[in-house]
Copies of this chain bind each other. A is one copy, B any other.
């Protein structure tokens, strides 16, 4: 990996600091090996169980990291964010535990299960705008009116530092277990996990390859990374809705340019196959984005024969209709 640009906002110390702040709220998640998965893929696979966290996704790390970094004044006024799901859930959970008022803007027609869960954690839910961007614009207006601190889902140094804690744990746990990790596969939505990972790996394990994975149907960041120019797409309609982004974000994209060893694209049917393999071999539930890292590994397995790879099971918040559809397609 080439050194990070000097302007890169997150370094190893920021991640270590986030580790200390989240420790009072979140237990480390298991890093586990499943012989069945090794057997199918022909290499050693370690699964990082972010689905074991409260709210069932890594996003709660980001949320706790950013909310614990706020000033007393910001905490008292409260925060606002636009989200379709896991980040909103994570913020609602963190706000409840830190006693910080949380407002989440979701687009009209957002998944009702996600909306219900966000509200039940005590956050205020505002439905506005016909798509995610419009919800984001409404969020900015409300923030200005009410004097709320806006929390970006990816383009924020504390969010990235929070996401970096998962790779920090991977290194600690794999070393304690005597594992030699060759590569880690990260699904890329906003890019916080990949950017956080790069901050950790560059300093603490430069020999470990960080590999990004996106869905073919939401490939803006991959395309930008390959071409070296910023590319945005009109739509991003993948089953892996947790990573359905239409454009790169400055902070995370700069890190990925500097630090990703490779970037893999996977099809919808490859994501579905990875979801079924994850369910069959680990007996953990997984959402589309949560299995996208594994889909990337499945595609790359041939070149990693005999090596050790980590996949992040980043979340399990799947609705019943989608789970049914994925199971029926297998």
Give A contacts to B, CB under 8 Å: 27, 30, 32, 35-36, 39, 49, 51-52, 54, 56, 113, 116-117, 120-121, 276, 279-280, 282-285, 287, 316-320, 323-324, 327-328, 330
The 7 closest A-B CB pairs, nearest first, are: A35-B120, A285-B285, A283-B316, A324-B327, A56-B283, A283-B317, A52-B52
Q: Are B280 and A113 in contact (CB under 8 A)?
A: yes
Q: Are A279 and B36 in contact (CB under 8 A)?
A: no
Q: Are B285 and A283 in contact (CB under 8 A)?
A: yes
Q: Are A36 and B117 in contact (CB under 8 A)?
A: yes
| Bound CA–CA A279/B27 (angstroms) | 22
Q: How far is the CB of A149 from chain B (nearest CB, A)?
A: 25
Integer count of this chain's copies in the complex? 2
Q: How far is the CB of A324 from chain B (nearest CB, A)?
A: 5
Q: Are A324 and B320 in contact (CB under 8 A)?
A: no
Question: What is the predominant secondary structure among interface residues of chain A facing chain B?
Answer: helix
Nearest opposing residue in chain B for A35, CB measure: B120
Nearest opposing residue in chain B for A55, CB measure: B283
| Bound CA–CA A109/B285 (angstroms) | 26
A279 surroundings in chain B (CB, below 8 A): 285, 320, 323
Interface centre among A49, A113, A283, A319 (most CB of B within 10 A): A283
Q: Per a CB cutoff under 8 Å, which of B283, B284, B324, B330 touches A328? A: B324
Q: Are B327 and A320 in contact (CB under 8 A)?
A: yes
| Bound CA–CA A116/B283 (angstroms) | 14
Q: How far is the CB of A294 from chain B (nearest CB, A)?
A: 15
Q: Per a CB cutoff under 8 Å, which of B117, B287, B316, B319 touches A284? A: B316
Q: Are A283 and B318 in contact (CB under 8 A)?
A: yes
| Known contacts A36-B120, A52-B30, A56-B283; A327 and B323 CB within 8 A of each other | yes
| Bound CA–CA A137/B175 (angstroms) | 44
Q: Per a CB cutoff under 8 Å, which of B36, B52, B116, B287 touches A36? A: B116
Apart from A56-B283, A320-B327, A320-B330, 10 more pairs, CB < 8 Å: A27-B27, A30-B54, A36-B113, A36-B116, A36-B117, A113-B280, A276-B320, A279-B285, A279-B323, A285-B285
